[in-house]
Amino acid sequence: MAEWDASSQNGALEKNGLRRVAVMLPYPLGPYDYMAPAELNLVVGDYVVVPLGPREVLGVVWGKGQGDVAAKKMKPVAGRFDAPPMPDDHRRFIDWVAAYTLSPPGTVMRMSLTAPKALEPARPAVAFRRGALSPNLTLTAARRRVLDVLEERGTATAQELADAAGCGIAVVRGLADAGAVETVMLPPCYPASTFQPLDDRPTLSPDQALAAERLIARLGAGYSATLLDGVTGAGKTEVYFEAVAANIAAGRQTLVLLPEIALSAQLLERFAKRFGAMPALWHSDVGPAARRMTWRGVAEGKTKVVVGARSALFLPYPDLRLIVVDEEHESAFKQEDGVIYHARDMAVARAHLGGFPVVLVSATPSLESVVNAEVGRYERLYLPARHAGAALPKIGLIDLRREKPPARKFLSPVLNQAIAETLAAGEQALLFLNRRGYAPLTLCRTCGHRMQCPNCTAWLVEHRFQGLLRCHHCDHAEPIPSNCPQCDNVGSFAPCGPGVERISDEVAELFPDARVSLLASDMFQGFGGRGMALQEAIRQVRDHEVDIVIGTQIIAKGHHFPMLTLVGVVDADLGLTGGDLRASERTYQLLHQVAGRAGRAERPGRVLLQTYMPEHRVMQALADDQRDAFLAVESEERRAAAMPPFARLAALIVSGPDTAEVGQAARELARAAPRSDGIVVLGPAPAPLAMLRGLHRERLLLKARRDVPVQPLMAEWLGRVRVPANVRIQVDIDPYSFL
Ligand code: ADP
Ligand code: ZN
């Protein structure tokens, strides 16, 4: 990697007589040296176009050239984009993420180039202002409204005028043709670039005010990490909004990271209410136009607040001074393909590199963060109570060994009774089951054949509404066959186990008059789970147009339903099987979160967990509201087992189309494994998902003491082993998935 002398950073390279630059390309290669034509006036961070073989590709000037290529052989940079150079901090961040995750820096940088159109300056917007009124102008009512709007606002775009005057754009055009309005060019309007200070902010409770004060005091005072902890509804969002407001007032940039699923309209509305403008949004479903304006607005330093999913970390902020990671415990922050990284951890690294505060927010913080707070790496701020004394819901356990549901049914009589009482009181119930589809397994009653995915080690899940069997690990879907593929018997398939669709059938039988809504991400395909349809479904729940909601975790987070007073968890044990290191912790977090949907308003809520393991410590901790005691036990167990956060893990996933080649490569990796004090290498072993998308998979796991620098070890290890071209090795530092 080219080391760039700090004194010349951001200076024109030519000033020092430099004529070669190292250009990072968005591929797993390079950086490569190029000649820098003097007239381009290149500076470090510039976005450039360079020749690569027969093509021209986009790249970023990463520093001065390494100088080991003869000048004659070097090709010149072909062009420079008129865009603010990628900030130093951001380039250092990319290099840091690459080094941490053992990914090529070009591949990491690629995550910053997801809106290439934004490299062209944004076009000015065409707007209108009032022109001369000719006496011959026919003044229709619509035309008059348009002129009135302009009178009031001075300038507005055609769309704004049409919206405000309640007419079509043609009316505006007609006025323009008649000279009654004239066009003006406005500078591009970047999202979240202006905010109005709002007066009707809530008055914070003393605890809240203290926490807000502490966060605000951290702004501008270098790097710090704070864990903002407190039950759902304690006002954590209100508190971090105060810090965001202070950062806005200082004119600096803020990033609020949320797990994709929690990017709800409700939070945005709340944000807009508090700050008088929407934040810029960044997630996988943002369309190209908004993406372009946001990227450019961020790069120009004009867009002040971004609320986004993990990819928002890779926008090129020139002046980022605060990151908030809301729901910091969420495993959705872990990106599992491409560059495998944990956005919460990378956010902390980004704050460290940039020298500014990061705030991690959760009602059920991860053990990692709790331990970091205990040892003093993070400051902990705790909000003890729900705002205005709203009661936390009471959590009860239903022992399924005694309270048996009827045959082939999944709701126990106790739960049904509670639902009936809730409906009778004119309130709403939520039945939670984190499993999409009708049934997780379809089996032939005659021969026992199980319908399996042809590409993955996984059963096919029946989706009855779609009439399909689907794999939840790949895109495979097939119609439900009429004959068993093995014994050819007709109509002998039986569903095994429940999915939300099946619960919905059961509820329809039990409560035929209730209005039922089924909420699962596959019900809203094409909207990325956040689209209009889902928002509409959520509105119906909020406005009490629905009596019983049946949902997956799509409904578990962030929503506020005033009339929802009962939460029934159909299978509380679901996440506990499978031997995941964090199974208990995650189950606790998820169920606690779901429980938080009950009784958010004045009406007290209750929560019933159906379980076969009522004595399990997760169930006990939930029922007795003993989070900290639970975390303490969990922490002790992890310490005793030398597992994270008390040790480091790194996984290698070896995959390929040929099982023998994969096995061979995995064994060679094991033979070449580093051997020294403080490390153990486990495996290879076939992955639980031994086949995924048609590729065979084996896993190795390196476990190291916390003080062992894992990355150099891994890099050296991988460097010792040659694998065939169609065997792939993925490195997963700090793995969260063990499938
Ligand atoms: P959390 O983020 O901890 O779950 P929120 O910040 O969302 O909590 O607060 C829960 C609810 O209580 C929200 O509707 C919020 O507006 C309200 N609230 C919190 N603190 C106050 C306050 N000091 N005054 C008025 N309303 C508040
Ligand atoms: Zn599959």
Residue 178: the pLDDT is: 87
Instruction: Using alpha carbons, select from 298, 368, 393 the residue that is nearest to residue 591.
Output: 393
Among residues 594, 588, 558, which one has the least CA distance to residue 366?
588
pLDDT exceeds cutoff 50 at 5: no
Pair (332, 431) in one structural domain: no
Pair 506, 603 in one domain: yes
The percentage of residues in the chain with a pLDDT greater than 90, rounded to a whole number, is 70
Assess whether pLDDT exceeds 50 at residue 311: yes
Q: Which of 102, 119, 136 is the last residue of a domain?
A: 119
Ligand number nearest CA of 258 is 1
- Top pLDDT among 459 and 5 is at 459
- Residue 596 pLDDT: 84
Only one residue has tokens 């499978």, namely: 578
- Chain segment 593-639, per-residue pLDDT in tens: 899 888 766 778 899 999 999 999 999 999 999 999 999 999 999 99
| 424, 572: one domain | yes
Nearest residue (by CA) to ligand 1, atom 26, is: 202
The ligand with the least distance to the CA atom of 600 is: 1
Q: What angle do CA 280, 281, 287 make, to 5 degrees?
A: 115
Lowest mean per-residue pLDDT among 316-325, 342-351, 524-533 = 524-533
Residue 1 has pLDDT above 50, yes or no: no
Using CA atoms, how far apart are residues 578 and 555, in angstroms rounded to an integer? 24
Q: Assess whether pLDDT exceeds 60 at residue 15.
A: no
Quickly state the pLDDT bin for 524 (edges 50, 70, 90). Answer: low
> Regarding beta strands 224-230 and 357-362, do their DSSP bridges make them parallel or antiparallel, or are they unpaired?
parallel
Which range (70-79, 376-385, 650-659, 717-726) has the least confidence? 70-79
Same-domain status, 566 and 653: no
Give the Å distance between the CA of 721 and the centre of ligand 2.
30
**Stretch 484-502: mean pLDDT:** 93
Question: Mean pLDDT over residues 3-23, rounded?
Answer: 56
At residue 530, the pLDDT reads 45
Q: Is residue 358 part of a domain?
A: yes
The residue among 567, 332, 577, 534 whose CA lies nearest residue 440 is: 577
Sheet (strand 477-479) strand order: 461-463, 468-470, 477-479
Pocket of ligand 1 (CB under 6 A): 202-205, 208, 230, 232-238, 387
User: φ and ψ at 326, to 5 degrees?
Assistant: -90, 145
Counting every residue, how long is the chain?
A: 739
Name the pLDDT band for 139 (thresholds 50, 70, 90): confident
Atom of ligand 1 nearest to the CA of 239: 6
- The predicted pLDDT at position 271 comes to 87
Query: Can you tell me which atom of ligand 1 is nearest the CA of 560?
Result: 14
Percent of the chain with pLDDT over 70: 94
3-state class (DSSP) for residue 685: strand
Pocket probe for ligand 1: among 387, 592, 600, the residue whose CB has the most ligand atoms within 8 Å is: 387
- CB-based contact 63:674 (threshold 8 Å): no
Ligand nearest to C-alpha 692: 2
Structural domain includes residue 105: yes
Residue 510 counted as domain residue: yes
Name the least confident of 182-191, 260-269, 333-342, 657-666: 260-269
In the predicted model, is pLDDT for residue 16 greater than 80? Answer: no
Nearest CA to ligand 1 atom 23: 204
587 pLDDT tier (thresholds 50, 70, 90): very high
The Cα 144–Cα 138 span in angstroms is: 10
Q: 199 C-alpha vs ligand 1 centroid, how far in Å?
A: 16
CATH number, domain containing residue 26: 3.40.1440.60
- Given its phi and psi angles, is residue 683 left (phi above 0), alpha (psi -120 to 50 degrees) or beta? left
Same domain, 258 and 274: yes
**CATH classification of the domain holding 664:** 3.30.70.600
pLDDT at 502 over 80: yes
Whose tokens are 């061979």? That residue is 664
Verify that 400 and 374 share a domain, yes or no. Answer: no
Are residues 594 and 463 located together in one domain of the fold?
no
534 inside domain: yes
Nearest atom in ligand 1 to the alpha carbon of residue 234 is 3
Neighbouring C-alpha atoms within 13 Å toward the C-beta of 517:
24
Residues 665 and 702 in one domain: yes
Query: Dihedral through CA 462, CA 430, CA 578, CA 495, nearest 10?
Result: -20
The residue out of 576, 604, 635 marking a domain boundary is: 635
Closest ligand 1 atom to the C-alpha of 270?
Answer: 16
Checking if the pLDDT of 23 tops 80, the result is yes
How many structural domains does the chain have? 6
Question: pLDDT-derived band of residue 72, with 50, 70 and 90 as boundaries?
Answer: confident
pLDDT, tens digit, 9 for 90 and up, residues 399-449? 999 999 999 999 999 999 999 999 999 999 999 999 999 999 999 999 999
Task: Tell me the average pLDDT across 114-127.
Answer: 87
Of the two residues 198 and 177, the one the predictor is more confident about is: 177
- 112 lies in some domain: yes
Are 611 and 504 members of one domain?
Answer: yes
Ligand 1 atom nearest 241 alpha carbon:
6
Same domain, 539 and 583: yes
194 inside domain: no
Q: Residue 413 falls within a domain, yes or no?
A: yes
Reported in sequence order, the residue ranges of 529-627 that DSSP labels E, i.e. its strands, are 548-551, 564-569, 606-611
Residue 484 clears pLDDT 60, i.e. is over it? yes
Same domain, 264 and 405: no
Q: What is the pTM of this model?
A: 0.89
215 and 305, same domain (yes or no)? yes
- Predicted confidence at residue 472, as pLDDT, reads 94
> How far is residue 616's CA from residue 116's CA, in Å, rounded to a whole number?
51
pLDDT band at 391 (very low <50, low <70, confident <90, very high): low
In degrees, to the nearest 5, what angle opens at C-alpha 650 toward C-alphas 647 and 654?
155
Question: Lowest-confidence range among 25-29, 176-180, 224-228, 507-511?
Answer: 176-180
Judged by DSSP in three states, 27 sits in coil
Q: Residue 255 — very low, low, confident or very high, per pLDDT cuts 50/70/90?
A: very high
Q: What is the pLDDT of residue 273?
A: 86
Asked, for residue 193, whether it belongs to a domain, the answer is: no
Decide if 46 contacts 316 (C-beta within 8 A): no
Domain that holds residue 257: 206-386
Average pLDDT over residues 351-377: 97
